[in-house]
Structure 1
Amino acid sequence: MTVPMDYLYASRDFRRFLDAVKKQSMRGSHNQSYAMTRAVLHVFRSHVPVKDALAFAEVLPPLLRVIFIEGWDVEAEVTPFPDRETLHREMKAVREPHNTAPETAIGDVAAVLRAEVGEERLRRVLGAMPIGAEDYWLK
């Protein structure tokens, strides 16, 4: 069996993703883009059941998939999606005070992810998830 191209080029593709997030959010470094991306992924994960989170992980590129599941307490309580302001506060609390994400962080990462994965593919996986999941990535 040949090695999937996604795995062969995972580092290159991840660097390209971080470049796009850096540009979209006007961050100064890949470290800031990484911290912001990680926080956005982890906050989303906290609002969907494990089964749905795993379905979402399947559409992510390999290194984003790893970041999405790292350090996951699968027994943690899953809470419904709150309003955007609360989601932003949750995202900013991830690795505080190192997280310098702007107010637009969720939308910035979402825009880059839609371009990377494809909006239709995201819609298919998010459509079966709790209310708020689609809005998180598609608004």
Structure 2
Amino acid sequence: MPMPQTYFLASREFDTFIQDVRDTCMLQSHHQAYHTLRAVLHTFRSHLTTADALRFADILPAVTRAIFVEDWRPSDVPLPFPDREALVREMKSVRKDHNLAPQTAIEDVAAALRRSSIYERELDRVLRNLPEGAAAFWA
């Protein structure tokens, strides 16, 4: 079996993706885009069980998957998805003193993710099998 393209092209794919996140969020740097992406991914993950989070991680490109699972404490009990306003507050609380994510960061990252190397049909299929609120998060 050949090496999967998601590993072979991981750096190139991620560079393109993080530039899209930067531009879509109207941020100034890759560093700001990375921290915004991380905050969005970790906010989403905090509302999933371990099994659901791993199911979602399976469809992410390699570097994005690594960011999704970094610093994870799987024993945490997930809370249900709250309304969008609460999700934005939660996302903005990640690295609070250094978080420059715009109010629209969740929607912006969702749009960039859907434009990236992820397969939209696969994303939608996985989201349909996650808890209520998961699909709306990435809408």
Letter in 2 for 1:37: L
Q: Percent identity?
A: 51
Equivalent residue runs for 1:29-48 within 5 Å: 29-48=29-48
TM-aligned CA deviation for residue 4 of structure 1 = 1.7
Equivalent residue runs for 1:55-66 within 5 Å: 55-66=55-66
The equivalent of 2:68 in structure 1 is 68
Partner Cα distance (1:58, 1:129) in 2 = 13
Matched, 1:131 2:99: no
Equivalent residue runs for 1:1-139 within 5 Å: 1-116=1-116, 117-138=118-139
List alignment gaps of at least 5 residues for structure 2: none
Q: How many residues align?
A: 138
RMSD after superposition: 0.9
Say which SS state the counterpart of residue 103 (structure 1) adopts.
coil
Compute the TM-score of the two structures, normalised by the length of structure 1.
0.96
Deviations 1:36-77 (A, max 9, x none): 000000000000111111000000000000000011000112
Say which SS state the counterpart of residue 2 (structure 2) adopts.
coil
Partner Cα distance (2:79, 2:19) in 1 = 32
List alignment gaps of at least 5 residues for structure 1: none
